[in-house]
Amino acid sequence: MNIANMIPTLDDVGLANLRRNALRLESGDAGARQIEAACLLPLIDAEIERRSKSVKATPQLKKALVPKGKRKAYTI
C-alpha cells in the first residue's frame, strides 16, 4: 500500500505529522523523496480541508493548516 492510499485512514495527528514531514522533505535536497513529498502535499491538504469542513477539526488538524510563524494570524 502506498502512502497516498493511506491518507484517508490516518487519524488527525498522523495526518498532521505526515504533512509536516512532507513539507520538510519538499524543501530538502532534490531527489525521489522531494518529488514524492511534492506529489503528496496536495492530497494531504485536500484531506485536511475535507475533514475540517465535515466535522469539528481537532487542534492538531488546525495547527497543520496554519503556516509556521503565522499561527496567531489565522483561525479556522
Residue 10 lies in a domain: yes
pLDDT value for 40: 94
**22-44 pLDDT, tens per residue?**
999 988 887 888 899 999 999 99
Q: Are 18 and 8 in contact (CB under 8 A)?
A: no
**Total domain count, the chain:** 1
The pLDDT, as a whole number, for residue 74 is 36
- Give a yes or no: residue 71 inside a domain: no
- Residue 10 CA from chain centroid, whole number: 11
- Domain limits for position 13: 3-65
In a domain, 76, yes or no: no
Which 8-state DSSP code applies to residue 8?
G
State pLDDT tens for residues 61-73: 666 666 655 444 4
**DSSP 8-state class, residue 56:** P
CA separation (Å) from 28 to 33, 38, 62, 68? 9, 11, 24, 17
Structural domain contains residue 48: yes
